[in-house]
Amino acid sequence: MRDLNFAIVGFGKMGSIRYNTLKEASGCRVSWICEVAPGVAMPDDVRHTAHLDDILLDTGVDAIVVCTSNDALKNTVLKGLGHGKHVLCEKPPGRNLAELEEMIAAEKNNPKLKLMFGFNHRHHDSMLCARKMIDSGEYGQVLWLRGRYGKSVDENFFSNWRAKKEKAGGGIFLDQGIHMLDLFLMMCDDFDEVSAFVSNLYWKLNIEDNVFAIFRNKKGQVASLHSTMTQWRHLFSFEIFLERGYITINGLKTSSNSYGDEIMTVAKNRSLPPAAMWTDEEKQVFHVDTSWKKEMATFVDAIRLDKPVSVGNTKDAYKLMKLTERIYANK
């Protein structure tokens, strides 16, 4: 089976991560990188261009990986699909639901092509283990979830495209908190009710610096989310409480290690209420981030085997962006 030829559109931090991941992926090669910003250092083993059409018109390119600013995501996806390329697009799935709906329509018009959105957090080993434990039924049904995802920014953030609503579409939630909501959907499938407070109390930009949101579904499962860029230190905390135990994941393994060690704690409730005691708590540390590799393998398998995208598909994205719209309606 011949190698799949990829092109990367946008070569900032995410473009670099995707390039390095593809370099290690069997049967894959990067043939093009498109970057419009001048002076960006790029590898010398691929062709470079500042013009997207150079990539789109190359019939040897099988797939593109879109790592642009949010304002360019939709048009790049539409052009990629329109020129017969499979597309892996970084999150978010557009700046709003309307942009995603345009991408879904383009996908339907090109049924032989694969469209996937990059939500690598679902591919972290701790999350896959948690989902497996839930599916086992050993701990009963999920009762509630709580997620906190935060970081600190300084005045340098003002010069970043993420600080400009017309480019980013939203603030810290659309940039980072959306990952936590996606994990809620991974564990509980969907939510019907949304209540949220959206705040820009500190930085006073036209994008939010905090979101406090609560979700509930028809099963009665409730999830609480706090997404913030006034945390003053990086924090990732995800808690899943079930009928007969709990799973907590504190820290997230990343290339910068900003969020500390990725530690999963699991305990089973072995006594009856009201004098319940949590015993036999077990911890597991995940020392390596394999999420990028696993996510790319999901995309490559969908292309090679001509099967539906299993994770990060447009159905997942639609659920996510519908809830996102309802959060932002609380501004």
pLDDT tens digit sequence for 166-210? 999 999 999 999 999 999 999 999 999 999 999 999 999 999 999
**Alpha-carbon span 249 to 265, nearest angstrom:** 6
% of the chain surpassing 70 pLDDT: 97
Are 243 and 139 in contact by the 8 Å Cβ rule? The answer is yes
C-alpha to C-alpha distance for 55 and 48, rounded to whole angstroms:
10
What type of residue is 106? A
What's the burial of 188, exposed, middle or buried (CB within 10 Å: 0-12/13-18/19+)? buried
Per-residue pLDDT reduced to its tens digit, 18-64: 999 999 999 999 999 999 999 999 999 999 999 999 999 999 999 99
Whole-number pLDDT of residue 255: 84
The mean predicted confidence, pLDDT, of the chain is 95
Q: How far apart are CA 115 and CA 302, in angstroms?
A: 10
User: What is residue 151's predicted lDDT score, i.e. its pLDDT?
Assistant: 95
Residue 328 tokens, joined: 């932002």
Tokens of 255: 């290339």
Whether 276 has a pLDDT exceeding 90, the answer reads: no
Write the pLDDT tens digit of every residue in 137-175.
999 999 999 999 999 999 999 999 999 999 999 999 999
- Backbone angles phi and psi of 181, in degrees to 5: -60, -40
Domain ranges of the chain: 4-120+293-308, 125-252+254-287
Of 137, 139, 122, the C-alpha closest to 282 is 139
Question: Mind listing the pLDDT tens digit for each residue in 257-266?
Answer: 899 999 999 9
Residue 325 has pLDDT above 70, yes or no: yes
Question: What's the confidence (pLDDT) of residue 275?
Answer: 57
Whether 256 has a pLDDT exceeding 90, the answer reads: no
pLDDT digit string, tens, across residues 199-213: 999 999 999 999 999
Q: Three-state secondary structure along 59-85?
A: CCCCEEEECCCHHHHHHHHHHHHHCCC
The structural architecture, per CATH, of the domain 4-120+293-308 is 3-Layer(aba) Sandwich (3.40)
Q: Which CATH number fits domain 125-252+254-287: 3.30.160.60, 3.10.105.10, 3.30.360.10, 3.30.70.380?
A: 3.30.360.10
Sheet with 210-216: list strands edge to edge: 193-199, 210-216, 222-228, 142-152, 230-242, 245-250, 262-269, 278-286
98 contacts: CB under 8 Å, gap ≥ 6: none
Is a pLDDT exceeding 80 seen at residue 124?
yes
pLDDT tens-digit map of 226-246: 999 999 999 999 999 999 899
- The pLDDT confidence band at residue 274, using thresholds 50, 70 and 90, is low
Q: Is the pLDDT of residue 280 over 90?
A: no
Residue 269 has pLDDT above 60, yes or no: yes
| Residue 278 clears pLDDT 80, i.e. is over it | no
